[in-house]
Amino acid sequence: QHYFTVLFGHEGQKPLELRCEDEVDGDEWVEAIHQASYSDILIEREVLMQKYIHLVQIVETEKIAANQLRHQLEDQDTEIERLKSEIIALNKTKERMRPYQGNQEDEDPDIKKIKKVQSFMRGWLCRRKWKTIVQDYICSPHAESMRKRNQIVFNMVEAESEYVHQLYVLVNCFLRPLRMAASSKKPPISHDDVSSIFLNSETIMFLHEIFHQGLKARIANWPTLILADLFDILLPMLNIYQEFVRNHQYSLQVLANCKQNRDFDKLLKQYEANPACEGRMLETFLTYPMFQIPRYIITLHELLAHTPHEHVERKSLEFAKSKLEELSRVMHDEVSDTENIRKNLAIERTIVEGCDILLDTSQTFIRQG
Query: Nearest 5°: phi and psi at 16?
Result: -110, 120
317 and 192 inside one domain? yes
Q: According to the model, what pLDDT value does residue 266 have?
A: 92
Q: Assign residue 292 the CATH number of its domain.
A: 1.20.900.10
Q: Alpha-carbon distance 110 to 113, whole Å? A: 5
**Contacts of residue 325, Cβ cutoff 8 Å, sequence gap at least 6:** 297
Segments of the chain with pLDDT less than 70: 1-4, 6-13, 36-39, 98-107, 223-225, 333-369
156 and 31 inside one domain? no
Closest CA to 283 of 242, 241, 254: 254
Q: Alpha-carbon distance 57 to 63, whole Å? A: 10
Q: In terms of C-beta density within 10 A (0-12 exposed, 13-18 middle, 19 or more buried), how is residue 148 classed? A: middle
Domains of the chain: total: 2
State pLDDT tens for residues 143-188: 788 788 888 888 988 999 999 999 999 999 999 999 999 998 889 9
Q: Alpha-carbon distance 71 to 48, whole Å? A: 35
Q: According to the model, what pLDDT value does residue 321 have?
A: 87
160 and 297 inside one domain? yes
DSSP state of 237: G
31 and 177 inside one domain? no
Instruction: With respect to residue 273, please indicate whether it lies within any of the assigned structural domains.
Output: yes
Q: Alpha-carbon distance 48 to 327, whole Å? A: 95
Q: According to the model, what pLDDT value does residue 345 have?
A: 56
Instruction: With respect to residue 125, please indicate whether it lies within any of the assigned structural domains.
Output: no
Q: According to the model, what pLDDT value does residue 357 have?
A: 59
Q: How far is CA 217 from CA 49, 157, 225, in A?
A: 78, 11, 10
Instruction: With respect to residue 120, please indicate whether it lies within any of the assigned structural domains.
Output: no
17 and 163 inside one domain? no
Whole domain around residue 196: which residue ranges? 151-359
Q: According to the model, what pLDDT value does residue 349 have?
A: 56
DSSP state of 170: I
DSSP state of 175: I
Q: According to the model, what pLDDT value does residue 141 have?
A: 80
Q: According to the model, what pLDDT value does residue 253 have?
A: 84
Q: pTM for the full model? A: 0.57
Instruction: With respect to residue 321, please indicate whether it lies within any of the assigned structural domains.
Output: yes
Q: According to the model, what pLDDT value does residue 168 have?
A: 94
Contact at 8 Å (CB) between 337 and 327?
Answer: no
Q: According to the model, what pLDDT value does residue 162 have?
A: 94
Instruction: With respect to residue 286, please indicate whether it lies within any of the assigned structural domains.
Output: yes
Task: Bin 328: left if φ > 0, else alpha if -120 < ψ < 50, else beta.
Answer: alpha
Instruction: With respect to residue 102, please indicate whether it lies within any of the assigned structural domains.
Output: no
Instruction: With respect to residue 305, please indicate whether it lies within any of the assigned structural domains.
Output: yes
Q: Alpha-carbon distance 17 to 5, whole Å? A: 4
212 and 348 inside one domain? yes
Contact at 8 Å (CB) between 225 and 153?
Answer: yes
Instruction: With respect to residue 190, please indicate whether it lies within any of the assigned structural domains.
Output: yes
155 and 27 inside one domain? no
